[in-house]
Amino acid sequence: MNSKVQGLKAFLGQTGRVALVEVAATKGSTPREAGAFMLVSASAIFGTIGGGQLEYMAMDKARQMLGRATRSPADETRIEVDEVCATLDVPLGPEIGQCCGGRVEVSIRLVDGSLEQQLIARAEADEAQLPHVYLFGGGHVGQALAASLALLPIHVVVVETRTEAFDGMPETVETRLAPMPEAVVREAPAGSAFAILTHDHALDFLIVAEALKRDDTAYVGMIGSRTKKATFRSWFLKSAEGSEAQFDRLVSPIGGSAVKDKR
């Protein structure tokens, strides 16, 4: 898995001198909120403050500051005192080709060792707060769903019994090989969502049963037809010691209702 934290660490470790470009304050309609940030090096960027001319202006200023920095024999970055940090106050109007209509204050600072650690700690804290979505099954449906979810600000975990099913998974998705996938359900944090779509109906049933017996899940969904759901209900109530109240929390079939299918 290549998480945002890992990407941040890699960028900081491989790109030489770096400037932090951060939205310090906003007024009115703006592309990003206060606290949004990006990192800028001489030839690369990490993250975004919303794109457009605003971002271009901030990147240009950051690179001007980086260009004035020099390396001492001790490999410490030195820069003119008045260019250690800078602030841009930008109205987002037709003058710069952006019609948001708001105003953005952008802070630009050179990244030293202390700031680097602050950024990593901040990213780790943000990542820990992300909602967790567990996909059980890495077949063609799991692959497509993982690719879509990987674009969202959530922590996606794909659980499989087959190593080859992880081929082609997005880098930002966590993959977990588990001979007993139902055990992963027990370890998931409270508020997690579970989508069960493995290659084996019996395995689906075991995973769903484990998820339904938790009372702190955000969502439990199983791929399949209404017939499969009815079969699961019979097994769940008779053999898995489940209750009707637990069963009623199951979403199955899953997916949009507007598409005609073989449910």
CB 27 within 8 A of CB 102: yes
Over the range 21-51, which residues count as b (16 or more CB within 10 Å of their CB) and which as e?
Answer: bbbeebeeebbbeeebbbbbbeeebbbebbe
pLDDT score for 38: 95
pLDDT score for 71: 47
pLDDT score for 14: 83
pLDDT tens digits for 4-21? 888 899 899 887 899 999
Looking at every residue in the chain, the average pLDDT score rounds to 89
Cα(36)–Cα(23) distance, integer angstroms? 5
More confident residue, 196 or 257: 196
Residue 160, both tokens:
């499989």
Give 20's strand partners: 39, 109
CB 65 within 8 A of CB 79: yes
Does 161 score more than 80 pLDDT? yes
Does 260 score more than 70 pLDDT? no
The one-letter amino acid at 210:
E
- Dihedral angle over CA of 190, 196, 201, 204, nearest 10: -10
pLDDT score for 6: 84
pLDDT score for 228: 96
CB 189 within 8 A of CB 132: yes
Q: Sign of the C-alpha dihedral, residues 67, 55, 25, 15?
A: negative
pLDDT score for 89: 86
pLDDT tens digits for 119-158? 999 999 988 889 999 999 999 999 999 999 998 989 999 9
Q: Sign of the C-alpha dihedral, residues 128, 134, 137, 138?
A: negative
Mean pLDDT of 166-188: 93
pLDDT score for 258: 66
More confident residue, 15 or 212: 212
Does 118 score more than 70 pLDDT? yes
Of 94, 120, 119, 203, nearest to 159 by C-alpha is 203
CA distances from 213 to 41, 43, 164, 236, 244 (A): 50, 52, 30, 10, 11
pLDDT score for 77: 43
Phi, psi dihedrals of residue 246, rounded to the nearest 5°: -65, -45
Alpha helices in 69-219 (DSSP H): 113-128, 140-149, 182-187, 201-212
pLDDT score for 85: 84
Coil, helix or strand for 19? strand
The percent of residues above 90 in pLDDT, for the chain, comes to 68
pLDDT score for 170: 87
Give 39's strand partners: 20, 46
Helix (H) or strand (E) holding 98: none
pLDDT score for 147: 94
> Residue 84 — very low, low, confident or very high, per pLDDT cuts 50/70/90?
confident
Coil, helix or strand for 213? coil
pLDDT score for 1: 61
CB 131 within 8 A of CB 155: yes
Of 157, 181, 15, 27, nearest to 92 by C-alpha is 27
36-40, 99-103, 199-203, range with the lowest pLDDT: 99-103
Name all domains of the chain by residue range, CATH numbers in brackets.
4-127 (no CATH), 132-251 (3.40.50.720)
